[in-house]
Amino acid sequence: MLTLVSLLVLSFACQRGDQQGETATRSATPLRGGTLVVAISNDIHGINPLISGADSQTTAVLDRLFLHLFEEQPDYHEHPPTFAPSLVESFEWSADATLLELELRSEVSWSDGVPVTAEDVRWTWQAQTDPDLAWGYAQSKENIRDVEVTGPHSLEIHFHRASPSQLADLNEGVILPRHAWGDLPFAEWRSNESWFVEQLVVNGPFDLESWTRQEQIVLRRNEAFPRPGLPRVDRVIYRVVPQKQNQIGELLAGEVDFVEQVPPSEVGRLEQREIQILRFWARQFNYICWNTGRPLFADPEVRRALTLAIDRQEIVDALWYGFARVAVSPFLTSTWAHDPDLEALPFDLEASRRILQSKGWSDTDQDGILDLEGQPFSFELITNTGSPVRNDAAVMVQEHLRRAGIQVRLRQLEFNTVVSRALEHDFDALLGGWDIDTSMDLTYAFHTESIEDGYNFGQFSDPEVDRLIDAANLETDPIVRVQQLREIEAIVHRTQPYTFLWEPQRLSAASKRLRDATPSSVSPYFRLEDWWLAGVD
């Protein structure tokens, strides 16, 4: 699911085309034991996913402690993502797809020996939808009418209607321990964060051994995990190392085994030192959002002219060392929903000038800035501090548009200030980034209803886009839905409410001894239980 934090995330890129990404060096005989050390930039926010899991780092760690019903697969480049059973043993849909019967794995227990049951699943759903608790992703459960327990390990999931995202919506969020956490009313959860650490039991591959805030999180093998021989490592230490260069230094010194993201500028140096680079496309596009509520950006032809005037390939080459590609639309070019025949608008300064001239823009006072009825073509472009690549991109955009006769005033603001101004539509243009989910639901930023109650920062409104989004969100025929999504994509491409800048690849770095690591678009620690260390005593 999308998070507000993903508005302006900065990811570093790498060069590879498949979604699964590369895998750390394989060997015929995996070893068991040892301690895996991971460098992370930020500490986790807490241990209860419903009140602490709003950021990607916390979610990535807590997903090693608790199981989902299913495991989403990183295969959305060719078709809608598939979901492999995890806590679920088997499932069956009714003919009209409004009822899903689940059978849980009977051998799964919590780390204190208590079996995981259907009651845990129903109670977790109640927590996720409780208004007093106010979970950040509660909207994902709106189509679930009821979760009915029909046996110790059997459930019936009743949906209001069939939709293409039913399984993904059901799977949003991990299953929590009713017997351990059920005594505390949901309304009191947010004011008792430390209580959950004291009462912690888990059903995932790892348990929490210790947590020293702002220093490290230590996970140990959950001996109750039902898959024989897994996890392979004894412990995982997440060491908080805020500065990226310090993370790389510790990796080169042999003090760290895995760094989730490294800058593309460091790839050559790391590979020379026999550091493994693991690569995959990120689920992200970076953009300039034009505030279409401002007269300067109300005309789609003017927005198209702005895109034509920005040399996006130069930005990719200069700032990403080629480890990214020019973005086309909100559907990443590596996803099944993207129309392969739809190409990014080219850099064409002359075409941009012709469009602007046809709209009445000209440099009447010969000051180098286009004007119309006495008003110069001048605006403010905001982005967040703390993101060198994004800030450098803004400078390049400023220069590109200057050549087109457009004055851009750059302003860097603290992250939360950018978010606040975006939600209030208090900006001209905003350079940011979206992490997408795989439902391909564009309601969040491109539907009229999301202008006041969502993330449609630029106030884009198109009745046909609204209609198609609504239809696609209910369409269960994949062939029809692809057609609907591509019609949306074509309209957005034509009207350019965003200038889609780049899609980054993401690279992780691993020590020579780390084997079978599979960071992916699903999680930087995807299937961590399978990772192992060579040379373990």
Q: Are residues 14 and 323 in contact, defined by beta-carbon separation less than 8 angstroms?
A: yes
Report d(CA 245, CA 266) in Å as an integer.
Answer: 10
Phi, psi of 504 (to 5 degrees): -85, 150
DSSP class of 23: -
Q: For 187-247, what is the HEC assignment?
A: HHCCCCHHHHHHCCCCCCCEEEEEEECCCEEEEEECCCCCCCCCCCCCEEEEEECCCHHHH
> What average pLDDT score do residues 422-436 get?
95
Q: Where are the beta strands (DSSP E) in 260-360?
A: 276-281, 284-290, 324-326
Q: What is the pLDDT of residues 171-217, one digit of tens each?
A: 999 999 999 999 999 999 999 999 999 999 999 999 999 999 999 99
In order, the DSSP letters of 397-426 are HHHHHHHTT-EEEEEEE-HHHHHHHHHTT-
> What average pLDDT score do residues 226-236 get?
96
Q: Where are the beta strands (DSSP E) in 258-394?
A: 258-259, 276-281, 284-290, 324-326, 371-372, 375-376, 378-384
**Closest among 202, 190, 370, 397 to 289, alpha carbons compared:** 397
DSSP class of 55: S
Report d(CA 49, CA 29) in Å as an integer.
Answer: 35
% of residues, the chain, pLDDT over 90: 85
Residue 3 has pLDDT above 80, yes or no: no
pLDDT at 81: 87
Which residues are CB-contacts of 381 (< 8 A; sequence separation ≥ 6)?
288, 394, 397, 398, 408, 409, 410, 411, 428, 429, 430, 431
Q: What is the pLDDT of residues 378-421, one digit of tens each?
A: 999 999 998 888 999 999 999 999 999 999 999 999 988 999 99
> What average pLDDT score do residues 458-477 get?
96
Residue 453 has pLDDT above 90, yes or no: no
pLDDT at 179: 98
Q: Are residues 404 and 347 in contact, defined by beta-carbon separation less than 8 angstroms?
A: no
Phi, psi of 222 (to 5 degrees): -85, 105
Phi, psi of 212 (to 5 degrees): -105, 105
Q: Which residue has the tokens 């884009």?
A: 460
361-to-199, 305, 377 alpha-carbon distances in Å: 66, 12, 8
| Annotated domain spans of the chain | 284-505
pLDDT at 97: 95
pLDDT at 4: 34
User: If you average pLDDT over every residue of the chain, what do you get?
Assistant: 93
Report d(CA 140, CA 128) in Å as an integer.
Answer: 9
Which residues are CB-contacts of 224 (< 8 A; sequence separation ≥ 6)?
109, 110, 111, 113, 203
Structure-block tokens of residue 227? 């898959």
For the domain made up of 284-505, give the CATH fold: Dipeptide-binding Protein; domain 3 (3.10.105)
CB count within 10 Å of CB 17 equals 13
Based on its alpha-carbon atoms, the radius of gyration of the chain, rounded to whole angstroms, reads 24
CB count within 10 Å of CB 476 equals 12
pLDDT at 479: 92
Q: What is the pLDDT of residues 254-301, one digit of tens each?
A: 999 999 999 998 999 999 999 999 999 998 999 999 999 999 999 999
pLDDT at 21: 65
Q: What is the pLDDT of residues 329-386, one digit of tens each?
A: 999 998 999 999 999 999 999 999 999 999 999 999 999 999 999 999 999 999 999 8
pLDDT at 24: 80
**Closest among 32, 59, 33 to 44, alpha carbons compared:** 59
> What average pLDDT score do residues 440-451 get?
95
Q: What is the pLDDT of residues 13-24, one digit of tens each?
A: 222 233 456 778
Q: Are residues 424 and 351 in contact, defined by beta-carbon separation less than 8 angstroms?
A: no
Higher model confidence: residue 32 or residue 453?
32
Cα 300 from chain centre: 28
Pairing of strands 284-290, 276-281: unpaired
Q: Which residues pair with 46 in a beta bridge?
A: none
pLDDT at 8: 35
Q: Are residues 51 and 193 in contact, defined by beta-carbon separation less than 8 angstroms?
A: yes
Phi, psi of 403 (to 5 degrees): -65, -20
Phi, psi of 409 (to 5 degrees): -100, 120
Residue 12 has pLDDT above 60, yes or no: no
